[in-house]
A and B are shown apart, each in its own frame.
Chain A
Amino acid sequence: MTMRRVISALVHDRPGVLNRVASMFRRRGFNIASLTVGHSERPEFSRMTIVVDNVPETALYQVTSQLFNVVDVVEVMDITDDDYVARETALIKVRATRETRGQIVEILDLFRGAEVISVSPYSVIIEITGPTEQVESLLALLEPYTILELMRTGLVALTKDDTAPQDGAWRGPTLVGAQSHRN
């Protein structure tokens, strides 16, 4: 079963912080599906959304708590089981000739938040912003036209609760059924 976990972290905006965070995943051999980082609501901090696949809960408990031990990391939340919104943007360069351009635009009409942002004689660049599933289904529909180049931002996510997170907040996975870890 594919287990996708979404972790939100608030980190200092300083050189080397990305390295420290990535290091935590690297030393356990976990592949990061996506990691996005950008300015947060506070100028001295950046917010990261980290997505990992197929990481056992006990291991993820370790990684999130070790991540929390990184001095430059101020807050770590596993928001997978929370009520949250998540979006990613993809730029897709698709082969498009005079004959196929119209068909491609027709496909885009089926999607919210998808549009052509650049047109060349033999290709178009499409921008789509939405949940991962929506991006993937658009990609599936465009596949027959030949995707020349693809750039995805990875997921950005925010929980829907109406409080600001506190410095020093940490929440890892709940370790349901972890007793089997030993027995």
Chain B
Amino acid sequence: MSDRMLAGGELVCEALQAEGVDLVFGVPGGAILPFYDHILKYPSIHHVLTRHEQGAAHAADGYARATGRVGVCIATSGPGAINLAVGLGTSFMDSTPIVAITGQVTRPAIGKDAFQETDVTGVTIPVTKHNYLVMNASDIPRVMKEAFHIARSARPGPVLVDIPRDVLQEIGEYSGYPQSVDDLPGFRPITHPDPDQVQGAADLINAAERPVILAGRGVLLSGAEPELKDLAERAQIPVIPTLLGIGSFPGNHYLHLSLMGMHGSAFANFVANEADLLINIGSRFDDRIIGRVADFAPHAKIVHFNIDRSSIHQNIFAHAPVVGDAKNSLQALLPLIRQTTRPQWLSRVDDLRREHPLIVRDFDGKPSTQYIIKRIHELTDGKAFIVTGVGQHQMWAAQHYVTDRPNSFITSGGLGTMGYEVPAALGAQMGRPTEQVWSICGDAGFQMTLQELATIRDEKAPVKFAIMNNRHHGMVRQWQTLFYNKRYSQIDTTGPDFVKLAEAYGMPGIRVDDIKDVDSAIKQAQDHDGPVIVEFMVEIDELVYPMIPAGQSVNEMVEDPWMDQQPTGTARR
């Protein structure tokens, strides 16, 4: 192909097109204007105009998680770029592949405190896997190729490409999009594990009597769900998903346990506590899972599969670390694993499951958040794509929305970003247009990004919002209740009339405060072919149980006291 002369902005569009990107989220502004001029000529790239750059970043993240593809977000220099940062941090912590493109002030203006100038590559070093400041238009194709490659390879994450306005305007030679990445000697993902490490893991697994698997997002990211199921069934090992690993193992499988950790199920915590081997596949041992390090799985040796060497030994020492892609590692491991039965261990697991179930409370005719999530689960057959905010409703959704669909549970785990739920639901819905997407929100988080309702209306994205309205920062209140002697400080988040708000944004709004209206509201939302907001008025005093206070262990776990007050067998499982 003969060389063409293209402007920097066109080179960016060419790169997006060559990467197969058909959907991007962004907000224009001065420094990025040349790009926005050129994208008009690329109708295959649909640009979604979010109302805030944070929304663009979260939408790209929700899209990426729902589809497994790289999400793309775009912003201008200065405030636009910094507004992306919380979204980049969210993606960074949860290993979501993102390419962020930001405009920068012109090359001669850099470093002169120009209007809307921020050192964006400097600001985003801690929240990106890598970033670039592109100083020549002719570098754009290579940089974009590398950015996509880095974003999606090894442990995925966000990569930011900062391009000065005059570079977007500069004419460069274009000899086609690079076929391969040739010059990244410092980026060498370890995809295939060392056989000795795999043997070490296999030896521990074959010798274990009471093993348990902790399955994280790495399983989903590498598509290792079949291998995980093979391993669990072959060696009869129960599987605890992490918050981000929900869907990596079928939720209805007899070996599936609920989450463990701070708000995990009591039975999963007891299982981990009694296990003699804990096999972590694709999780980094978050502190919400381990609590007090010294008391975490105290009888267990640790096998740790992770593609990121820096996650090994980070929080928990691994007796048998395996660095590599989860799918490749499990494929190498499986032939070494002896088929076995463990009637004793599995019956002990079942006893624990029976004795310490997750329960759904009743509140005299008022629906509990748990109950509402349970009904959404049942009325969607557990098949919906769930996007959540952060806090109490998130924990209840993770406990009660049991699913067997990989990548269908979308939540900000590592960074715990409130406000994620609105734009991420938009991104997930646009990536999966034929799926039913439910955004389970708290009223406080919803108010942080509700401006994206306009984007959702414009894009006709039929997201079903279920706002659990307790008029408070519920989880903050829970901590103040339990650990600050009920000294409530700055937690009243009473918002607008959400039904009227829905109408203002051109979508139906439904308010529910009676338990008998829950089902009809959910069904009404399902039947409507556009976005809907259902506002559920829920109790302020609901607390998420079980709870292991921060930095403590299963020995300090508090189960729901309500359970003991009920006649035996009446508490709903």
Q: Which residues of A contact B (CB under 8 A)?
A: 11-12, 15-16, 19-20, 23, 27, 58, 61-62, 65-66, 68-74, 167-168, 170, 175, 178-179, 181-183
Contacts and interface: CB of A to CB of B under 8 A. Distances in A.
B571 interface: no
A20 B132 CA distance: 12
Given A20-B125, A58-B313, A68-B309, A182 B186 contact: no
30 contacts: A16-B121, A20-B125, A58-B313, A58-B317, A62-B314, A65-B308, A65-B310, A65-B312, A66-B310, A69-B309, A69-B310, A70-B130, A70-B186, A71-B129, A71-B184, A72-B130, A72-B186, A74-B185, A74-B186, A167-B185, A168-B185, A168-B188, A175-B317, A178-B313, A178-B317, A179-B317, A181-B317, A182-B294, A182-B302, A182-B317
A66 B294 CA distance: 24
Interface in B107-123: 121-122
B126 interface: yes
A62 B310 contact: yes
B188 A183 contact: no
Contact of A71 (B150, B293, B314): B150
A62 B312 CA distance: 8
B484 interface: no
A70 B185 CA distance: 11
Interface of B: 121-122, 125-126, 129-130, 133, 150, 184-188, 293-294, 296, 302, 308-310, 312-314, 316-317, 319
Contacts of B126: 23, 27
B186 A12 contact: yes
Contacts of A175: 313, 317
A15 B119 CA distance: 13
Given A62-B313, A65-B309, A178-B313, 20 more contacts: A16-B122, A23-B126, A58-B313, A65-B310, A69-B129, A69-B308, A69-B310, A71-B130, A71-B184, A72-B186, A73-B186, A74-B186, A168-B185, A175-B317, A181-B293, A181-B316, A181-B317, A182-B293, A182-B296, A182-B316
B11 to A, nearest CB: 21
A66 B92 CA distance: 14
A78 to B, nearest CB: 13
A183 B308 CA distance: 24
A66 B312 CA distance: 11
Contacts of A182: 293-294, 296, 302, 316-317
A39 to B, nearest CB: 17
Contacts of A183: 294
A46 to B, nearest CB: 12
- The listed residue with most A CB atoms (<10 A of its CB), out of B185, B188, B316, B319, is B185
Contacts of B186: 11-12, 70-74, 167
B569 to A, nearest CB: 39
Contacts of B150: 71
- The listed residue with most B CB atoms (<10 A of its CB), out of A15, A65, A70, is A65
A179 B293 CA distance: 12
A12 B186 CA distance: 8
Nearest to A66: B310
Nearest to A64: B310
A175 B310 CA distance: 13
A61 B313 contact: yes
A136 B133 CA distance: 42
A115 B125 CA distance: 43
A14 B250 CA distance: 47
Contacts of B293: 181-182
Nearest to B316: A182
Contacts of B296: 182
A135 B293 CA distance: 43
A58 B313 CA distance: 7
Contacts of A70: 130, 186
Contacts of B187: 71
A11 B121 CA distance: 18
Nearest to B310: A65
Contacts of A23: 125-126
Contacts of A65: 308-310, 312
A16 B302 CA distance: 38
A175 B317 CA distance: 10
A139 to B, nearest CB: 36
A19 B317 contact: no
B128 to A, nearest CB: 10
Contacts of B185: 74, 167-168
A57 to B, nearest CB: 10
Contacts of A178: 313, 317
A148 B319 CA distance: 53
A68 B155 CA distance: 13
4 A-B pairs with least C-beta separation: A65-B310, A168-B188, A181-B317, A167-B185
A12 B129 CA distance: 16
A170 B309 contact: yes
- The listed residue with most A CB atoms (<10 A of its CB), out of B133, B188, B293, is B188
A7 to B, nearest CB: 15
Nearest to A20: B125
A68 B185 CA distance: 11
B535 to A, nearest CB: 41
- The listed residue with most B CB atoms (<10 A of its CB), out of A11, A20, A27, A178, is A20
- The listed residue with most A CB atoms (<10 A of its CB), out of B188, B308, B309, B316, is B309
A65 B185 CA distance: 16
B61 to A, nearest CB: 20
Contacts of A74: 185-186
A15 to B, nearest CB: 8
Contacts of A20: 125
Contacts of B309: 65, 68-69, 170
Contacts of A27: 126
- The listed residue with most B CB atoms (<10 A of its CB), out of A12, A62, A73, is A62
Nearest to A16: B121
A19 B125 contact: yes
A40 to B, nearest CB: 12
B164 to A, nearest CB: 14
A72 B308 CA distance: 17
A179 B314 CA distance: 13
A168 to B, nearest CB: 4
A11 B185 CA distance: 10
A87 B568 CA distance: 75
A179 B130 CA distance: 33
B323 to A, nearest CB: 9
A98 B313 CA distance: 60
